[in-house]
Structures are given as structure tokens and as C-alpha cells.
Structure 1
Amino acid sequence: MDAESNQPKSRARQYLEVVTGPWEDKRRWRQYKARVKALPENYRTAVEALERYLMHFGPGDGTDAASMFEDLADLFEQSAADGTPIREIFGEDPVEFVEAFMQNYSMGSYIRRERERFTSAIDRAAGEDTGREDRTV
């Protein structure tokens, strides 16, 4: 944490962060991108492909996403240092790998929320009250 985190935020910064998101998440993102840039080309290519996929299907909030991308950088930095082949990291099915990887970061995922909303709506339409919340707010 930086020294700034112990000080109250100015009103202007609070408003700005409402629009742009927390500055801490942006700092973490820039650090992650620098780590990826330092990887050997084939590892960097794999991480960038994963990143594209995760941007569509990964956690929706900044904190979960930042943690996930930092862990991804850790994994590929260690794999590059150990000389682990790309195929050995992913196995035969890259989608299976990334889906299993994402399971660790499901909180905050808009996809999870939408699945719950969809299931709840179908339950209601079928006349079944399962007690699930419908987050249609």
C-alpha cells in the first residue's frame, strides 16, 4: 500500500474515482502490464491471448481482476524462469485451463450474476420459487 492510502481522499478524487475507478487498481494494472512486457515473446503472446479471453469472461470488478492478472503474471514469470513449455502450462485444451483458472476469481463476475439472474427468471416463469435472488436492479 502506498502512503496515500492512510490519508482521506479529497472530494474531487472521490468523484473522479467514481467515474474512472480506484487509482490503486490502475497502478496494479500498469505494474502487471510491465511484468508481461518483460516476459519472453512466446510467454507474452500466451498471456496476451489469455488476457483477451479474461477481459470478456473474467471477474467484473477491478480488485478481483487485478488479483487474477497478478496471479497470471506470477504463473508465467515462474514458468518462463523454469523453462516450462507453453503446452505444458495449458495442456491440450486452453479453454479448459482458463476456465479452471477463472474459478478462483468468480466473485464480482458479471457472468455469474447474469447466470443467477437468468436462472431465477426461468424458475419464476416456471412457477418455481427457489429462494434465489433476482438482481434486476
Structure 2
Amino acid sequence: MGIQDILEGKKQWRAHMARVKALPPDYQIAYKEIQKYFFKVGPVDLPDGTLLSGIVDFFEEGVAADKGVLELIGNDVAAFCDDLVKDSRTYADIYQESVSRKPGTAGK
């Protein structure tokens, strides 16, 4: 990864976060909780994918339709997140696999 890639990534992230900051406060709180959840146990391809920007798109549509954030995601943020990544490999899956291996079988 070159310096140009890093700079471009930062530029994209700042633009993404500007979109988040333009959302109403309750949407921003929900987004930050979703982001925190995904950064802990989320999909392995999170940095390469469009999941977070897709959530912002979804939230912007909700704002335009004059819906509350809980109408969109429900009361359980974790359940909402789990449903989004149910078919994706997550860091939690990798950890579970590592502790499930028999001793002495690492890398096999």
C-alpha cells in the first residue's frame, strides 16, 4: 500500500464521516453503535466492503422518509448487525475456530 492509497483512503473516510455527521443525532448515535459493533466482531472484509457506506445510505433514506432510526433498525442494534453479516465470515468466527482447534494443530 503506497502513500497515495493511504491518502485516498483517509479522504474517503473523512467524506464518509461527514455524511454521518449530517444525519440527525439519533441516527448518529445508532451509526456509532453499529460501527463499534462491527469493529469488534464484524466481517473480515469490512475495510474492503461497502457495508458502512450502505448503512449511511439506508439511514439517509430513512431520514428522507421521516422515519425514526428505531423504525429502521429495531431496538436491538446487535441483532440488526448480526442479520446484516449473517452470511459473512467474522472476526468472532475466526476466534471461535482458533479456540476450537485441538492443541498442536495450528495452521492445519
Letter in 2 for 1:116: E
**Aligned residues: percent identity?**
26
- Residue aligning to 1:55: 39
| Mapped partners of 2:93, 2:9: distance in 1 | 22
Structure 2, unaligned runs of 5 or more: none
Q: Given the two structures, how large is their TM-score scaled by the length of structure 1?
A: 0.61
| Mapped partners of 2:37, 2:64: distance in 1 | 24
Structure with greater helix share of residues? 1
Verify the 8 A CA contact 1:60 1:110 in the aligned structure 2.
yes
Letter in 1 for 2:13: W
Letter in 2 for 1:78: E
Letter in 1 for 2:26: N
Larger Rg: 1
Cα RMSD after superposing both structures: 2.8
| Greater relative contact order, per chain length (Cα 8 Å cut-off, separation 6+) | 2
- How many matched pairs? 106
Q: Given the two structures, how large is their TM-score scaled by the length of structure 2?
A: 0.75
Matches within 5 A, 1:83-98: 83-98=66-81
Please list the CA deviations of residues 75-133 of structure 1 after superposition, one character each: whole Å capped at 9, or x if unmatched.
111111111222211224322111112336x24x33222223333x1xx46xxxxxxx9
Structure 1, unaligned runs of 5 or more: 1-12, 126-132
Letter in 1 for 2:10: K
